[in-house]
Amino acid sequence: MTDHRTRLQDEKRVRGSVSRVSGSVVDVRFPAGKLPEINSALEVQWETPKRLTLEVQQHKDVRTVRCVAIQETAGLACGAEVLDTGGPISIPVGEAVLGRLLNVVGDPIDHGPPLPDGMKRNLIHRKPPKLAAQTASRDLFLSGIKVIDLLAPLANGGKAAMFGGAGVGKTVLIMELIRTIAEKYKGTSVFAGVGERSREGHELWLDLKKSGVIDRTALVFGQMNEPPGARWRVALSALAIAEHFRDEEGKDVLLLVDNVFRFVQAGAEVSGLLGRLPSRVGYQPTLASEIAEFEERIASVHSAAVTSIQAVYVPADDFTDPAVAATFTHLDSSIVLSREMAGEGLYPAVDPLASSSTLLDPSIVGHRHYDIAEKTRQLIEQYRELREIISLLGIEELSAADRKAVGRARRLIRFLTQPFAVTSQFTGKPGAMVALDDTLAGCEAILDGKADEMEESDLYMIGTFEEAEQRTKGRAA
């Protein structure tokens, strides 16, 4: 019965034929006056078992549309029949996608069983919730990571991003957050791997299986070896799944995106393939609107919240890059990773001065938290100003007060490091999740001089301040 209905629907749909193929760009001719709309999905009806979906991007004339291919076009020839699906790309949603690894069009790529027939599907192109339906939360989303909870607290239902160049620990931080938040909040997570390396995707998949949180996580990947169309749309596919859990099931969702820069980069590739003139630094002229369309859909409504944590690659460590600058404007919390700190082995390499959050306000976090965070920042800033003098003349040339400030700042910086569960196999140290009260108590103790007699190494890669005291006692014994 279903096959008969599907066949009848297919017969009613408009059919066209391929008139030009140029890499990932395909021109399709339709009968006059029956052009599919922009962002419509077209299915190529060819002999191979491989699925080929095209997305309409331009109307060239009254009979021709220019499309971007979502999969490889190898073997596609002119004259191949194309079927207009009548709407944008859709992806299966619901409980059945949890624990599964999907591609941009919702096909499983984890070698598991096929998804059940008749699953509800959501369109990947949707409008954000109306402003009247959106809510702005002032609740903290505690991550268990000391430096983030202290200096750049995350908002429940907010957007946070981690900015950093290559090799400073963005993906490790994202993986740790998935693990700790899934264990602590027992919520639903959706992960979008945009332009990920196959190795990174495989490691994440195995780690989630090992930690037992895979059953509450849906993973959607458009990997680095896939065409730009897949990498460009995979974040929207993951977002469509998250929107279903928020709107239809009323569940709080954690949406993780790694990496937003690859989303922008794929858009730039598509823009170049379509022949658009590049804008600043060679980016697409639609850069700001593409990021806004994605970020504005990540919103919380009265019934449920979508909390988003994103990784953003910073090309050549240049934070003035247009892609990075355009992302900054949509965030509640900005976590900046420092190459210098990573080089010193201070992980997570979060820069305490460059990172910020709109929630770090006395009326939201309380006066004690705010005062400790400000004193911590001031002390670390004072230390950074004095470092040049120390490197030229030596620490002995500083005043007694400055020497004391430098010692406390160095201890604070080391106390804000901590071991991660996802790196325990490399470090040999079990991961530590630290409660906010323990973080505040430890920083307060260091600021008050209770760690002045401790070795700096006693405060390195620990959880709570009590662990440092036990190390000191152990050394004395």
State mean pLDDT over 377-386.
96
Does the annotation count 11 as an active-site position? no
Q: Kindly name the residue from 66, 159, 179, 196 that is annotated as catalytic.
A: 196
The pLDDT of residue 4:
44
Say how many residues make up the chain: 477
Q: Give the pTM.
A: 0.91
Do residues 332 and 163 make contact, with C-beta atoms less than 8 angstroms apart? Answer: no
Q: 314-336: buried (b, 16+ CB within 10 Å) or exposed (e) per residue? A: beeeebebbbbebbeebbbbbbb
Does the annotation count 50 as an active-site position? no
The pLDDT of residue 355:
96
State mean pLDDT over 299-308.
90
Going by their DSSP bridges, the two strands 253-258 and 306-313 should be labelled as parallel
The tens digit of pLDDT for each residue in 312-339 reads 999 988 999 999 999 999 999 999 999 9
Higher pLDDT, 179 or 413: 413
The token duo for 289 is 């609107």
The tens digit of pLDDT for each residue in 208-234 reads 887 778 888 999 999 999 999 999 999
Q: Kindly name the residue from 13, 20, 184, 197 that is annotated as catalytic.
A: 197
Does the annotation count 186 as an active-site position? no
Task: Report the alpha-carbon angle 302-308-314, nearest 5.
Answer: 150
Torsion of CA 134, 240, 236, 251, to 10 degrees: 60
The pLDDT of residue 414:
96
Q: Kindly name the residue from 170, 377, 408, 414 that is annotated as catalytic.
A: 170
pLDDT at residue 8 above 50? no
Least confident of 24-33, 140-149, 391-400, 403-412: 391-400
Residue 52: band (very low, low, confident or very high) from pLDDT cuts 50, 70, 90: very high
Q: 415-448: buried (b, 16+ CB within 10 Å) or exposed (e) per residue? A: bbbbbbbbbeeeeeeebbbbebebbbebbbbbbe
